[in-house]
Structure 1
Amino acid sequence: MSIGVIDLCKSSNLDNGEIKAEKSQPMRGRGTQFMESYSGVDNLANEEMKAAFEEWKSKTYALTVPLRIITLRGSVPPSWIKDFVQVQGKRLKLRTEFRSSLEAIFSELTSASKKNQIEAQSTMAADLITIGDSWMNLAICEGIIEPILDAEEQDWYSSLPDKWKVYLRRNKNGQLDPRGKIWGAPYRWGSMVIAYNKTKFERHNVAPIEDWKDLWRPELAGKISMVDAPREVLGAVLKYMGASYNSNDFSSQVSGGRTAVLQKFSALRRQVRLFDSMHYLKAFGAGDVWVAVGWSSDVLPAAKRMPNVTVVVPKSGTSLWADLWAIPAASTFATDRIGGRVRGPSPLIHQWIEFCLQPARALPFCQEIVPGASPLALTRPYNFIESLETTSGAPKLETNLIAGLPPPEILCKCEFLEPLSKEAFVDYQWLIAHSPKTSDGWIGSIMKFFTSTLQHLKYAPFR
């Protein structure tokens, strides 16, 4: 074999820079013909290859990257989905599904966990789901969500104000812990608000509502509807008494202790005609009540559809809520029914979260297309809002909110709901046990909530 190569080299000569292999005419002829024909169609081939490549890029092959998101209906601006698909191109296989409530999403996750069964179409098999911040500690305790791995290394995490970083870091029992892991990523937030029918108030010469204490006024007895969330109802009592939503010990942190809290709580129950998170705004819209107390995500869209309604954030402060992206704990299931999802969520989850947290994504909130605010606006809301272009043609609502946010002098008094401590739970349990029983069933629903919470608190460390 080596002799043949030497002979070939010896029989070759250099003529005007071209190597001629005299003993390899068949090989030379084939190669020369190819090069000559190629030089004649060079431009045409380039155009054909370019066109073929563009056609290939336009097709969706099996090598697409899936991203399945299950979210609360009305919480994600439609423009986000459209823009993300446009940015990612046709390699993205995005599937978005919507649920009517946070409770529905939570229930679907717990159902899969209790049955220890998971299917490709189940909520547990999604890459990301929406979870309310007040549900996060229970979700962690139930083992239905998992930490967001490598969150601290992502740009979206670095962009968050420190207040979010503290609030999102939890231990395995759902308690705030500076050494814990990151279990969620916020994409919008808001507050509890009070709406009242200005026409009714003016007709009956009733003073406007400004703060929580106004809910106890005699002229409003039986004319209030309110969400039936226990922490929100009892939190309103605590704020009225000058205490925190997150008070850990009524005896030492609330003036008058347990007895005083019980008196105010019982009085509020007599004032409120309806405790019902599903129907409180229907009663308000129908004129059955004059006042509605609920989350801004519910109240603001409803108030804009009603004539002469005022919405206020109580001046002594209120609770804050947040919608978060979280990862279902699908990787804890031993199954072959969900393909690669069992090994972890889509590699696009961080890109989606970062996309949701870009300053430009705040525009639908500022334009009041979707109620809420960007998480980036938590510590610098008004400078942040002024940097964005807003739409002046939107219907105006009489309110002390600024672009859907509490004004600065009130925001500094607002709080996120932290997980209950053991001491706080004992106080809440005593309060419910000593409350007069009524036929409305509301006390029973609160007791069910606290009984469920107790199952997790038994195993949790407390501050």
Structure 2
Amino acid sequence: MNRRSFLLSLGGMTLSQLLVGCAGNNQPKLNVQLLKGSIPSQVVNRFNRSLKEKVELKFAPVGRIEELYKRLLSWQENPKATDEPVWTRFIPLRNSQTVAVADLITLGDYWLTTAIQRKLIKPLEVAQLQQWSSLDSRWQNLVKRNEQGIPDPQGKIWAAPYRWGTTVIIYNRDKFKELGWTPQDWSDLWRSEVRSRISLLDQPREVIGLVLKKLGRSYNTENLATVPELEKELQTLNQQVKLYSSNTYLEPLIIGDTWLAVGWSSDVISVLARYPQLRVAIPRSGTAIWADLWVSPKETAKDALSSQWIDFCLQPKSAKEISLFTKANSPITTDIQASDIQESFSSLLLNSQEVFAKGEFLLPLPPEATKQYESFFAKMKA
């Protein structure tokens, strides 16, 4: 599954290539490769000022989670990769060298299982994370895995969350004003007024999951055969759908071909800023939760700076800045008020604790269950 499979271009203050401090042979260094737009530059600058010694900080944004995962794979094959000399960056048409192994890297929670299974990352030194105890137990359990990447209360800590979002309904406010109602929950996707006006993600777990949620079941139901009404609900929903896409589901909504779409909150941020007719609803019965995590590549050495950075992201002031500037939620409680944000983003950032309580992570399923989801989904679209 490739959440956000196109480049993100978030509005407001975002982090471009940022290098803080002067290079020195004996100077401590922290190399972080992160998802573009997921950390504001203000947080990096404050972190630099908080350090007691001079440190070279290198924060390099990458456009897609998939690309970050591919870097983990390349580092496994070439663990001695190093940074290219600065002067070579200005040579036109040169061949790019292998990117240096980072101390920390962003990874989506959905990629965590395979990263552990393929031994691309190593457990974190939780004893050095002062803010760890402030995390809700659900966050701690999400990243506590066994060696096969399966959630395990006795497992090691493989990652640290720093922001999260949801699967949402995004709709054209003008069209629904004419209808006299607005989408509030998954059941609204079955209403006759929106037949052939819906775009859905081309993802079995997401689509079947929202139907399960409508029926009062879990996104992580392992045996779909235990839900007798599921196939009928899937077929009825399919009649409502104009297209399935995980990459271009917003474009039809913008030009008016569809009136409603189901997508990831991280994708809709930029279009909300540019198209005032669009609004977002987080389904009242609950939805899927995605998370951006810090992980440590397998080949990196133990580094206290990495722990300091993770801790810094979980401090209340940093967490609030990350939420406000990246339009995502924090794994720790923040005091964000309606007056802090634009109205169009209020549904994404307010009432986050209630949304989190009703939401579910898409946890890894057994292989046979995964095949069942794929089979049901293919039959639905046939």
Place the TM-score, normalised by the shorter chain, in its bin: 0.7 to 0.9
Question: Does the 8 A contact of 2:327 with 2:348 survive in 1?
Answer: no
Report what 1:428 is aligned to. Answer: 373
Report what 1:86 is aligned to. Answer: 49
Distance in 2 (CA, whole Å) between partners of 1:139 and 1:130 is 12
Question: Does the 8 A contact of 1:313 with 1:406 survive in 2?
Answer: no
* Structure 1 counterpart of 2:372, one-letter code: D
Residue-by-residue CA offset, 1:56-91 (whole Å, 9 max, x unaligned): xx9753211111111111111221111112222662
Q: Does 1:142 find its partner at 2:118?
A: yes
Within-5 A mapping of 1:202-281: 202-203=177-178, 205=179, 207-252=181-226, 254=227, 256=228, 260-281=229-250
* Structure 1 counterpart of 2:313, one-letter code: C
Where 1:158 maps in the other structure, the secondary structure is helix
Within-5 A mapping of 1:265-304: 265-304=234-273
- The structure-2 alpha-carbon separation of the partners of 1:68 and 1:403, relative to structure 1 and needing over 3 Å to count, comes to same
Deviation at 1:136, TM superposition (A): 0.7
* Structure 1 counterpart of 2:358, one-letter code: K
Report what 2:332 is aligned to. Answer: 376
Q: Which is richer in helix?
A: 1
Distance in 2 (CA, whole Å) between partners of 1:293 and 1:317 is 14
Deviation at 1:432, TM superposition (A): 4.3
Task: Give the counterpart of 1:403 among 342, 349, 355.
Answer: 349
Where 1:95 maps in the other structure, the secondary structure is strand
Distance in 1 (CA, whole Å) between partners of 2:315 and 2:32 is 18
Q: Does 1:108 find its partner at 2:71?
A: yes
Deviation at 1:128, TM superposition (A): 0.6
- The structure-2 alpha-carbon separation of the partners of 1:151 and 1:428, relative to structure 1 and needing over 3 Å to count, comes to same
Deviation at 1:430, TM superposition (A): 3.9
Report what 1:443 is aligned to. Answer: none
Question: Does the 8 A contact of 1:105 with 1:123 survive in 2?
Answer: no
Report what 1:321 is aligned to. Answer: 290
Within-5 A mapping of 1:95-134: 95-113=58-76, 115=77, 119-121=81-83, 122=98, 125-134=101-110
Q: Does 1:312 find its partner at 2:257?
A: no
Deviation at 1:347, TM superposition (A): 3.0
Deviation at 1:435, TM superposition (A): 4.4
Q: TM-score, normalised by structure 2?
A: 0.82
Task: Give the counterpart of 1:163 among 135, 138, 141.
Answer: 138
Distance in 1 (CA, whole Å) between partners of 2:100 and 2:113 is 17
- In structure 2, list runs of 5 or more residues that go unmatched: 1-20, 84-97
Distance in 2 (CA, whole Å) between partners of 1:135 and 1:76 is 20
* Structure 1 counterpart of 2:206, one-letter code: E
Report what 1:380 is aligned to. Answer: none
* Structure 2 counterpart of 1:273, one-letter code: K
Within-5 A mapping of 1:11-50: none
- In structure 1, list runs of 5 or more residues that go unmatched: 1-57, 331-340, 378-383, 438-463
Aligned residues: 348
- The structure-2 alpha-carbon separation of the partners of 1:273 and 1:104, relative to structure 1 and needing over 3 Å to count, comes to farther
Residue-by-residue CA offset, 1:379-419 (whole Å, 9 max, x unaligned): xxxxx42xx6x5837432286x27344462x5432111111
Report what 1:11 is aligned to. Answer: none
Deviates more, 1:225-234 or 1:129-138: 225-234
Where 1:187 maps in the other structure, the secondary structure is strand
- The structure-2 alpha-carbon separation of the partners of 1:160 and 1:220, relative to structure 1 and needing over 3 Å to count, comes to same
Distance in 2 (CA, whole Å) between partners of 1:180 and 1:420 is 17
* Structure 1 counterpart of 2:47, one-letter code: F
Between structure 1 and structure 2, the one with the greater Rg is 1
Distance in 2 (CA, whole Å) between partners of 1:97 and 1:416 is 28
- The structure-2 alpha-carbon separation of the partners of 1:395 and 1:179, relative to structure 1 and needing over 3 Å to count, comes to closer
Distance in 1 (CA, whole Å) between partners of 2:325 and 2:247 is 22
Deviates more, 1:212-221 or 1:348-357: 212-221
Task: Give the counterpart of 1:71 among 34, 38, 44.
Answer: 34
Distance in 2 (CA, whole Å) between partners of 1:369 and 1:84 is 16
Distance in 2 (CA, whole Å) between partners of 1:398 and 1:370 is 11
Where 1:91 maps in the other structure, the secondary structure is coil
Distance in 1 (CA, whole Å) between partners of 2:22 and 2:362 is 47
Query: How much identity, in percent, do the aligned residues show?
Result: 36
Within-5 A mapping of 1:51-62: 61-62=24-25
Question: Does the 8 A contact of 2:204 with 2:377 survive in 1?
Answer: no
Question: Does the 8 A contact of 1:371 with 1:404 survive in 2?
Answer: no
Residue-by-residue CA offset, 1:305-358 (whole Å, 9 max, x unaligned): 21232211111111111100001122xxxxxxxxxx4xx153310000001110
Deviation at 1:155, TM superposition (A): 0.9
Report what 1:355 is aligned to. Answer: 312
Distance in 1 (CA, whole Å) between partners of 2:38 and 2:344 is 20
Question: Does the 8 A contact of 1:151 with 1:182 survive in 2?
Answer: yes
Q: TM-score, normalised by structure 1?
A: 0.69
Distance in 2 (CA, whole Å) between partners of 1:318 and 1:97 is 31
